[in-house]
Chains A and B, each alone.
Chain A
Amino acid sequence: MIKFIVVEDEQFVQENIKKIIRQISVKNDQDLKVEYYKKYNEKLQKEIDNDLYRKVYIMDIALDDSISGIDIAEKIRKKDWDSEIIFVTSHDQMFETVHRKILEVFDFIEKFQDMEKRLMNDIQKIFNKKIDSKTLKLSGKITDVEIYMKNILYITRDKEERKAIIYTDKDDVSFRVGYSLTELLELLDSRFVQTHKSCIANKNRMIEKNYAKGYFILDNGKKVEMLSKKYRKGIEE
């Protein structure tokens, strides 16, 4: 069940968004719940705290208040990384790039440029989107890290030190952590399987497996030579 929460102080924009959501409701034959706000208030905060529904927030950035759409997005992200956020606004490219990444904003839509079409497309994508927001949370000496499981490619054991190295698909980012493979397997979900005594891999990201030659290839093209026949059964299940 998806709930739409619209935070927009301009009446005509709010009416436009209302119209779009009504059209989507008819198209998908779903009765969609929608709430409208002109600014941040206690009722909106209660809505943010409520985790009964998956939510889609459609917000303006510049609200007629001291609390902007970005501030509201930050409050949302303090508790909830599963809901989608769409900003309907007019800000520059740099602003969009930074917040898209930091607050995981689904989209920024310009108010006066094909707003209806883009908003409809975005909402349809959200409907079709498979929610996979499971994260792996680990603690280091001074830093905590939270990694989306879908972004983890594979994990190997560090040969020199008793640590594991987690390889992700983002920007060659990897983490060396003070956990064993066994400990990590317990924290991860069933998509992660042991492929070798020194390797755990995300089987959803594997596109090719060669047990004879002992390697698997990931969807980013990387070849990992850590595949053992001993673990075949677990991988293929």
Chain B
Amino acid sequence: MSRPSDLALKTLNSQLSEVEQLIADKQTLMDGEPRSFAYELSLTSLLSLKYQLLKEKQDLLGELGYEELDVRLHGDTVATGMAAIKTVSLVLTTIQTLISEIAQAVGKGIGSRGKLTNEVLDTTQLRLHQIYEGPVGFKLLSPKHQLELYPQNDTMHESLVILFDLLDASDNPDVILRYAKEIGSRTFNTLIEFVDTLKENDLELTLHWQSFYKKQRQWAGTKTRLTELSEALSEIEELEVSQEELDGLILEASAIKGTFKFNISETGEIIAGTFNEAIREQIADVYDKRPIKGYFEKTVLRAMKSQKTRTFWVLQHLE
């Protein structure tokens, strides 16, 4: 006979699967009607329910959660089931640096210089949990932490989402352009170094991520993909950086994501971007109410091969 907690766990798991399916269904509906308030409100409710069920599960298991990252190395240099310590440490250290730098850029704004903060190091420091034999590999765990209502507020989780998005983006300059500005040049260069390290050491690498939030992603860094990624990353160039003063109305603003949509009065054009933390309260006061004068930093990046460009707007202050 099963224990009551087994039954409770089984019930919770089944409810979690159902709510995840409902969230996926809702997101599909939203793709066809992105501005539907009914979908947005309903999705928020479902996400709250998912969080509640995950929290109940966590309480039942009496555990905090963590992100699991499996790193497997392949190639002639590790074919005997052994790997040089220097190579292993270089690969693992670069993965750690990448995740921490992305976390710092996501949480604290882009900084091409400056030390990683203690807060970022504490929340992103990976631990070696297990070593695999043939192919050589490692299971790494994030620090244990509480669930966040919205996974995008979880720095470690969000950093891994961005890392995997970038690794998967060798044939998608749009994604690389989008993140190039968000994560900043320092992190971007670390990613290029990471790819180069693997290539120089004649290694291929598989990354598998199992998230605390039940998400799984895998990336197979074969030689072909590493070459493609290296080329895709190296061809991003900065076309223009300028300061702009624009009159208009803030149409949408998300305090959680720090994003906005702004309708320029003169041209009717709608631009989207991020705003500085310091003006969060001001935005809440004026959003959808009255026209403002906004002071923006405009950056245009271009992928040289495809000639695709992307413009980034940062609302720095407003009147």
Q: Do the two shown chains form a genuine complex with each other?
A: no
Which residues of B does A touch, CB under 8 Å? Answer: none
Which residues of A does B touch, CB under 8 Å? Answer: none
